[in-house]
Copies of this chain bind each other. A is one copy, B any other.
Amino acid sequence: MGKDKGPSFNLKTPKGTKDWCGSDAILRDRIFTTIADVFKRHGGTALDTPVFELREILAGKYGEDSKLIYDLQDQGGEICSLRYDLTVPFARWLAMNPDVRNIKRYHIAKVYRRDQPAVSKGRMREFYQCDFDIAGTFDAMIPDAEVMRIVSEVFEELGWNGRYTIKINHRKILDGVFQVCGVPEDKIRPISSAVDKLDKMSWADVRKEMVEKGLDGAVADLIETYVMNKGGRELLNKLLQDERLTANASAKAGLDDMALMMDYLEAFNVLDKISFDMSLARGLDYYTGVIYEVVTEGSAPAVQSDAPEAEQLKKASKKGKSKNPEDEDRSDDPTLGVGSVAAGGRYDNLVGMFLPKAQIPCVGISFGVDRIFSITKARLEREQNAKSLRNSEVDVLVMAFGGKGFTGMLKERMDICQKLWSAGIKAEFSYKSKPKPQQQFKAAEDGGIPFGIIIGEDELAAGKVKIKEMGLDKDHPEKEGVEVELASLIPEIQARLAKKQGGSVVSLAQQLQGVQV
């Protein structure tokens, strides 16, 4: 059927989408599992929403970016669109479930944006987000601090080993600073968005943009004295002594929040991962309190839409913008230019957009898995940890060898496989009834399968099989394999697998322990 059609198909995936397979899919899956385990450890409840929503649910949530929403065709019935993020569906769910007044929910799923894709940078039209949010009315800053602790646990368990910074700031501090400096109310958002570019533009350029936006130069200069600061408790204490600032209600409220936050971060043992960065502003309008963004060492800032600019940045970084001597040989480092790897903040008014009487404060974080994937993969490749980049997780290949008149021992191989499977061991055998020895060895080598079980007719008749660890040095005592009783095959292979700490057993953190970015 269909044979007469010929290859008239356009054999590709739609623009900005891709297939994930083999070692990439396995590694991404391990990243998901690692992140989900942290979410569950903190009491997270899984929420899964449909991939499309009624179009009116998404309307008016994304400002200019609404043009990037994928619409479903009107085929009769409801008008729907693919989800743009996981936050709006969460807020819709909260508004729909009035008995839920507080929840820690997590959601790992694909979202859709009709953006100009940049596949090499990992900017896709279909991509994964991993979100954790805490909804509910609680005492100030406690859930906010726990979200920071979650960020730290995720990156530690991904093996990043402290090599990341959580930049935090507070919308109320930022608003207070702008008010104190004399920014007119209607200019606060545009000026805020100019400040947000300080991670990829010089102050001079940002100042220029402010003035172009109609701000008085003197006001801009006053802003500089605040937003160029970053640090920890000492910066907070300096600001708390700034009487002009503390006289402003918004700034005072933000600074008090920040003081509480730092106390809690200390109790959670993550204060050393934090940088209080007064230039952090974040784009989305709906943030109302603390905001944060996670960057990793060596990662250049995110450049969203301009490829030549990214190139320039890479060059600038090579020319000595960074003092890290390792930068020189990193020009083709895929971890460069990936921007922030997680971001979020407090948004107390979003649920109210769906149901004004159900004002539920929320705070959350979204992990950018595609960027985390690129960095983690590059690290593993640098470590030449080939085992972790296998296509499947098979631990044992069951092989049969024999001389003249060899039957192939197919059913015997099947029988040993079923015993291994019943014991939960990942095992394969050749689908040929009479496979050649070299074919079987090649399959084990090609697949990076760590162990072979070799059966022969005489040996099996005597109740014995051979276990052979692949890839041993030629003078290793077990190079040629070890003969064991068939009756004790399962514990024998289990012991060797446990000792080997195979790829499927070791955590990402263990694999990457001590690996430098």
Chain A interface residues toward B at CB < 8 A: 1-3, 5-7, 9-15, 17-22, 25-26, 28-29, 40-54, 56-57, 60, 70-75, 77-78, 80, 82, 92-93, 95-96, 104-105, 110, 112, 114, 126, 136, 138-139, 142-143, 145, 149, 153, 263-264, 266-269, 285-286, 349, 352-357, 391-394, 410-411, 414-415, 417-418, 421-422, 424-428, 431-433, 504
Contacts and interface: CB of A to CB of B under 8 A. Distances in A.
Nearest to A393: B40
Contact of A138 (B1, B44, B432): B432
Contact of A415 (B22, B267, B431): B267
A494 to B, nearest CB: 14
6 contacts: A26-B45, A42-B426, A43-B427, A43-B428, A267-B415, A268-B415
Nearest 10 CB-CB pairings of A with B? A138-B431, A17-B50, A267-B414, A25-B46, A20-B48, A267-B411, A71-B73, A2-B353, A43-B428, A142-B431
Contacts of A5: 60, 353
A354 B10 CA distance: 9
B96 A12 contact: yes
A307 B162 CA distance: 59
A192 B267 CA distance: 70
Contacts of A70: 72-73, 75
| Copies of this chain | 2
A29 B427 CA distance: 24
A45 B25 contact: yes
A82 B73 CA distance: 11
Given A14-B78, A14-B80, A51-B110, 14 more contacts: A14-B50, A17-B52, A19-B47, A19-B49, A21-B45, A40-B504, A42-B421, A42-B427, A43-B392, A43-B394, A70-B72, A72-B82, A267-B414, A268-B414
Contacts of A47: 19-21, 25
A122 B34 CA distance: 31
A406 to B, nearest CB: 15
Contacts of A425: 41
A49 B13 contact: yes
A356 B432 contact: no
Contact of A114 (B50, B75, B269, B391): B75
A57 to B, nearest CB: 7
A411 to B, nearest CB: 4
Contact of A1 (B3, B267, B285): B285
A43 B2 contact: no
A370 to B, nearest CB: 12
Given A22-B45, A431-B138, A431-B142, A268 B392 contact: no
Contacts of A414: 145, 264, 267-268
